Structures are given as C-alpha cells and as structure tokens.
Chain A
C-alpha cells in the first residue's frame, strides 16, 4: 500500500491511499516506529493499542473488509462486515470479506499472535471496525461536502450514497474516492448509538450461504495451481512413533508417483494426483521407532486416579476449605471421568506450499496464520517478509487447526521436491493424528450446611493441559520479530517450561476456577499428569470438561439436599446477575417445574465461557434398553450486543449438536499406543434423526459483544445427564453416556 503522507497525524494515524483501480483504502493502524518496524508484543497486548482493520472501497461501491479471523463456519466474515457496514452506512449488497494476510496489524489482541480461537472474533474487532467504518464515513462526507459545495451538516448517508437534503442531490461513495484520498481521516469519528443501528442486531443473511450451498466455495482441499503435486502422508501407527527406515521401492514404481519424502513426522508419497499418492502410500514398507506402545486409555486413567491423590497445584483458594469441610453437616463426593475426543473436522487436514529459492507461498486452512508463517520461515530459512500465508474458507476447525503440524509437512515436502505440493491426510490419518481434547479424572467434594447449601467445594482435576500445546505453537510468534526466526524458536524453547508453569494449570481448570457460584470456601487444584498423548484445544477447551464436572456435581448437591436444581443455582448465583438472567430465562421458556409430556424429563445447567453465560434445559427420554433420546434443548444466552442474532443462534444450535456427539456417541480410546478410532464408523457423529430441536433465546443487552462460538458446548453434557438422572435415578459420571448403564 502506498502511503499518502499528506494530512496524516502522527498518533493514531490512518493510512489513506488511492490505489489504481482498487479504490480507497483506509487502515486503522497502530503507531509504529517506522514503515518497517514490527510492533512489539507489548503493543499488541493493548498498551496504547488502537484496534485495527482495513476497509477498501472500490469505484463501484464495493466495500471490502479485511477479516483477521479464519472463517471456519462461525460466520465471522459476515459479522465483521456487518459492523463495518453499520458505521459506514454502506450498501449491504456490496460488502465483501477478504481474509487478511499475516501482518502485525492483524494480530489477535487477546493472544498477541494472529490467530483464531477463544471466541474472540467479534469481541476483538468491535471497537476497531466500528471506528474504522465511522471514520471512513466521515471522510467520505467531507469529500462530498467539497464536491457538492454544501455544509456537511446538510448531508446524510445511506446505502453507500451521500444525499444533500435541501437539493436532493446524490453522490455515490465510489464517486468520492479521489477527493477523499486528499483529505485527512477524522481521528475521533462519532460512533452510532445503539438505537441508531440499522444492521447490527438484525438477522442479516450470511454472505457465503449461497456459494456454500452451490459448492462454489473453494476450501484448502480444493486448491489447485499449475504444476501442483499432491502428497498422501502416512504417520506412525503408535503415538509418538517416527520413521526408522522406509522401503519405498515398490511405491516409487507406482503410477504417477514423483517422490517419496521421509519426514520427521511420517512419510509423504508425492504424486500427480491424490488417489495415486494414496494408493501408492499403501505399498510403503516402513519401520517405525519410538512411541509409547504400552499406552492404553485404562492405564492412563489409572495413572490419573493415582496421581490425583497427591497434592495438586492450587489455582483457586477462597476461605478455609478444610475447616469448613470439617464443620459441614453433610458431605458429598463424586468422581467424574472424561475421555479423549477428536475434532473430526469435516475437511481433513491439508495444506499447500510452494517453496521457491526466494519466497514461500502457503495456502493453509489454519487457525493460526502467524505461527504458520513463522514455522514456514524457519523451515525454509527465508525472511518473514518472503513468506505469504493465504487463508481459504475452512471446513471446520474447532481448535484443531491451531496446531500447524500439517503446515510443517507441506512446507517440508515442497522444499524437498522443489514444486508446489498439496498434502492431504486421509480421514484415518486425520483422526489418529489429532491433537485430542484431553482425558481427565476429577474428584469433587462439597460440604453442606444444615440447610443443605454448599459451604465448601473442592475440585481436583488430573490430566494434561491443552494450554501446553497452545503455548508450544504460539510462543515463537509472540516473541519480538526483530529477533531472527531461529533465535525466536530457541528462546521460546527456553521460556516454555516457565510459561507453561504460569499458564497451563489455570487453563486446564478453566470453567471450574472461574466458577460463579457464591460458595465461601473453594479450592480448585490441578494435578499435572503428563502422558505422551498429543492434546490440544477443542471447542470450549477446559470448559468442555469442567462444566460437566461442576454442573453435574451441583445437581448431585441439589439431589442430596432435596432442592430444586434451578432454585439452588439461583440462590448461589445471587452475585452473578447475568448467570441468573440466562438461567431464569431458560427455565421459564422450558416450563421448568411444570408438568411436561409423559416420559420426558428435564435437566439444567448454567455455565459461562470467557464471559458469556449460557443456560440450557435438556429434555430427554430413555428407552428400556437404555437408549437416550434428546428431544429439545432450550438455551438462553447473554452475549452482550448480538451483532447478528441469527449467527448467534446458529452457533449455539450447532454447538449443542457438536457437544451431544461427545455426550452420547464419540470418544477416542488408546490401546497398545494406538488410537482405536479411525473414521466415522467408530468415531460416530450425531445424525439428523438423532438431533433435538434447539431453541435459543438471547438476552437483550447493550453491553459490548462477547464471544459466541464455543459457549454452546459446555452446558450440554451436564444438562443432558442431569435430565437422565431425573429420568432414571442413575447418575452419569463418565462420558460418553453408555446406554447399558441406563437399562431398566
């Protein structure tokens, strides 16, 4: 982008330029030391941070919004365009999202690296995009005032047109660009008041629905270019195993095969087409070394159960738990076990890389553009500027694509064969080589007073922390970019044990450590039990496990003290008004406590994920053979301003289905170091004929928008199993639900 120095203020400046044929480009940018200086981690974390975005207006009024987040299906590209269109008064039919390249300005302010996760898309873009849209609108107004020779106060904007009221003269945004490029961008534009919103808060249609329905959207899997080769990758059958020796004589003689590349992580068979590569890969005779061949799910859980007896790392301590427990009139205790879970993204892992002597292009279905760029720079030895990461539309992420193992493979293979290469994992490779949601063993104990209310609460959890993986992936990218790439990786390696010690325990207990219940004496402990199973972030991370523990146990307390599960929660949430709000709304809409249909039983759960509380009432029935049917899920959520209520509802409804799969159907198990599941026949996904009706009620709010992509997951399992308890009197303490346990 060419910089137009005229009229730019030094602080909080906006860059303005008129690009030939491309129209006006406005970028809110943070002040940096110079054109080439890289912003520091400190700046990106928020000190003096001016949130950022790009808007491009073409002469035909098309408004392009640079999207710093990956479109994984959550609708971020539509939501972010809405925020800009609102403040810009832009013509909605001409909004267009464009996925941002790697640049400091697109760092996720919550992470310090450019990445998508933690339900941060709208939340971290709200102020920046509103400001960018409003400033652009005012700039265009100023340009119109000059061209129409009229005071700006007589001008109004709507649908990308400026109208002069008295004369009814009109001028399109696209006609104002040249003039606007000569003017100074307003620094403090007026933002709309919520009551002025015309776009925000309304169920605008997604920008990508029709193209997705017609199969016209290009995913990473669909990418092609002249000379592109495709590689199938085979990984060790045992977790942690690596290639020892490879006999590829037969493989190399197979039709279409161009090369066989042995990687640290596996063996890549490179061919002219995927099917040739896939078929040839089956003829590989590989010997593998290392790995944890003695590992099994049972031995892992047994180890967790043993180590949990030890004292853990205290991540929360309120009051005097020991004393309160001793004084309690009654004590309740329970053990909850959760299995490993796979992401099973619809689009299997894939990535295309083209390594050239002086540059590297990567087409990566990734949730972490910056770590992807940095690892590519490290592998190729190229400077950061020479590496471009292009993000396509992505077929589901759920946290899996934050780890960039598949990017590493693509870059390594392209470098080795000196050609553009797309690596494609089969579904089997995808499931077996996932970074799983960690398995956990939990002990919870509560002391109740004479009235049955909890006065003491202990939750101990043993397992691996997903944060370890997040830190390993992101740490080098979070370090200052003036350091050489190799130095950043070396430094990250040194720092990681310290950072992990600081961050991982609390993250492992997220959803428990931040429990909103007003209980005087609370102790939350994490027992780090590292086993060599690859783990990572899985939609709603620690909360996906800990909400099950917390909300199931709260139900056990209600049962132990003969209280209504909703009443008990409301009383304990007296200092958490938003939690109360969603719980009351969900209970009301579900008709909680009123006689329902014959054979249908309700269960409730309330949970907050990263500041967005959601309550759910599940309605279930159980057949005599133990089969569970979930009929309806009534959800209430308070996410602040719902930028697009339809997208909010879709995210919750979709998350319910995602979580029901993990509640009722799927799990990953390990035997002799091998992942037992490989495809949808043994890692089953909920199908439509098993899907409940989902009702989503949104609490009206004027608070800034908060995350919505993950919060629908945590309450699902406990709401369902609490309903199963009411239906059968049997308490589910291990997921997924086993129908045999519910047989009557």
Chain B
C-alpha cells in the first residue's frame, strides 16, 4: 500500500511502487489527462506538477512520488489555469490535442515562475513538450495571451 497526494486528495493505493506514476494516475485513479507517448521523459505529454514543478510522470515511480504534492491537468486550478484554458481555446492551440495537457502544465509552471515571459523564455520552457501536429506558433501566442490576461 502506498499513499499518494493527488489534486489535493489522499489516495491509499494497492499498487507496485515501481509502477510509473503515469500509469497509476491513468489506470488506478482514472486521471487520463496525462498522456502516454514516449515513456522515457522525452516528449512531455505526461507532464504533471510535483510540488508545483513540471515533471514527466512516466519517469518517476509511484513509490518515489510518495509525499510529494501531485497536480494533474484535472486538478490544475486558479487564475493562471483559467487564463491558460481561456487563451488556449481563443487561439485554438490544439490540433489532435494529445500533447496539450502537457503543454498547459508547462505553461502554468512557466507563468507562475515568470509572469511576463519574453519569447525566448517561452520557447525554452515549452520546448519540453513535443507536438507532432506542430502547433508551436499557436502555443506561443496562447502563452503570451494568458500572460497578458494575468497582468490585467
């Protein structure tokens, strides 16, 4: 049995502690917003926040995540999250959408660290998440737009 704190809730889980956090979130908790795409921490589609910092959930085991504050896309809340969801929809950033929860998780972390990111910062932070559909230009715009919204 392990204890995980996910989106503000404590879960007691009967799961092999070596299981990657990603699969515990997806299969045990039904939180499918974090996506499996590479399994080796290369693509960022499975990004969650561990203690408010973005991390690929495929690359940490459930055992290692014990005691950490885990936030998934489903639990991402607050002003920054709202601004991002709004700008993402206004810009129509997603195409297939598979990587987009990962993109949002990184964007949220970026904006809380650097509320007025310059283009170079955006590019650097968001390069952690691959988008095969190539929505990068729209993501850039959406992050900027959310930052502007938060400044108001």
Contacts and interface: CB of A to CB of B under 8 A. Distances in A.
B139 interface: yes
Chain A interface extent, by class: 35 or more
B40 interface: yes
A237 interface: no
Nearest to A74: B95
Nearest to A655: B134
Contacts of B37: 346-348, 395, 427
Interface in A180-232: 205-206, 208-219, 221-222, 224, 230
A434 to B, nearest CB: 13
A396 interface: yes
A646 interface: yes
A215 B73 contact: yes
Task: Tell me the interface secondary structure of chain B in the complex.
Answer: loop
Given A210-B85, A213-B93, A345 B33 contact: no
Interface in B115-134: 122-124, 126-127, 129-134
Interface in A54-81: 72-75
A364 interface: no
B101 interface: yes
A73 B97 CA distance: 7
B130 A396 contact: no
B140 interface: yes
B147 interface: no
Given A347-B35, A348-B37, A655-B134, A275 B97 contact: no
Given A213-B104, A255-B16, A275-B23, A73 B33 contact: no
A450 to B, nearest CB: 45
A346 B134 contact: no
Interface in B30-71: 30, 32-40, 42-43, 45
Interface stretch (A121-129, A403-411, A621-629, A682-690): A682-690
Given A395-B98, A686-B134, A275 B20 contact: yes
A441 interface: no
| Residue among A276, A346, A690 facing the most chain B CB atoms (10 A cut-off) | A346
B100 A650 contact: no
Given A346-B37, A694-B137, A212 B94 contact: yes
Contacts of B88: 209-210, 213
Given A273-B27, A427-B38, A393 B132 contact: no
Interface string A378-420: 0000000000000001111010000000000000000000000
Given A224-B30, A345-B132, A346-B35, A213 B94 contact: yes
A561 interface: no
B96 A73 contact: yes
Interface string B6-33: 0000000000100110010011101011
Contact of B138 (A219, A650, A656): A650
Contact of A75 (B16, B95, B101, B136): B95
B99 A427 contact: no
A224 B73 CA distance: 19
Nearest to A205: B92
A679 B89 contact: no
Contacts of A655: 134
Interface string A652-675: 011111100000000000000000
A73 B136 contact: no
B27 A688 contact: no
A608 B120 CA distance: 35
A17 B75 CA distance: 43
Interface string A677-706: 001110001111111011000000000000
Contacts of B140: 688
B90 interface: yes
A347 B129 CA distance: 14
Contacts of B38: 427, 679-680
Contacts of A4: none
Contacts of A348: 36-37
B74 interface: yes
B111 interface: no
Given A214-B73, A688-B123, A689-B127, A653 B96 contact: no
Nearest to A393: B97
A426 interface: yes
Given A275-B27, A688-B126, A688-B139, A654 B42 contact: no
Contact of A654 (B32, B95, B101, B129): B95
Interface string A340-356: 00001111100000000
Contacts of B20: 275
A274 interface: yes
A427 B39 contact: yes
B5 interface: no
Contacts of A398: 132
B36 A221 contact: yes
A396 B133 CA distance: 7
B130 A685 contact: yes
B4 interface: no
A213 B135 contact: no
Contacts of B95: 73-75, 650, 654
Contacts of B93: 209, 213
A426 B73 CA distance: 23
Contact of A219 (B89, B98, B123): B98
Contacts of B92: 205-206, 209, 646, 650
Contacts of A221: 32, 35-36
A222 B73 CA distance: 15
B32 A218 contact: yes
B134 A693 contact: no
A398 B34 CA distance: 22
B133 A213 contact: no
A73 B42 contact: no
A209 B134 contact: no
Contacts of B137: 653, 691, 693-694
B134 A213 contact: no
A213 B101 contact: yes
A398 B123 CA distance: 25
A658 B34 contact: no
A657 B138 CA distance: 12
Contacts of A219: 35, 98
B89 A216 contact: no
A424 B36 CA distance: 10
A276 B39 CA distance: 15
Given A210-B89, A687-B130, A274 B27 contact: yes
A657 B28 CA distance: 36
B94 A73 contact: yes
Contacts of B101: 213-215
Contacts of B40: 427, 679-681
B136 A691 contact: yes
B132 A685 contact: yes
A690 B73 CA distance: 26
Given A650-B95, A653-B137, A215 B34 contact: yes
| Residue among B98, B127, B130 facing the most chain A CB atoms (10 A cut-off) | B98
B97 A212 contact: yes
Contact of B23 (A74, A274, A396, A689): A274
B97 A217 contact: yes
19 contacts: A75-B95, A209-B88, A209-B97, A210-B85, A214-B101, A217-B97, A224-B30, A255-B16, A275-B23, A346-B45, A395-B97, A424-B36, A650-B135, A653-B135, A653-B137, A654-B95, A679-B42, A687-B136, A688-B136
Q: Lowest 6 CB-CB distances: which A-B pairs, in order?
A: A215-B33, A657-B134, A73-B96, A212-B97, A395-B98, A73-B95
Given A348-B37, A653-B134, 15 more contacts: A209-B88, A212-B94, A213-B104, A214-B74, A215-B33, A219-B35, A273-B23, A346-B133, A650-B138, A653-B135, A656-B134, A658-B132, A685-B132, A687-B136, A689-B127
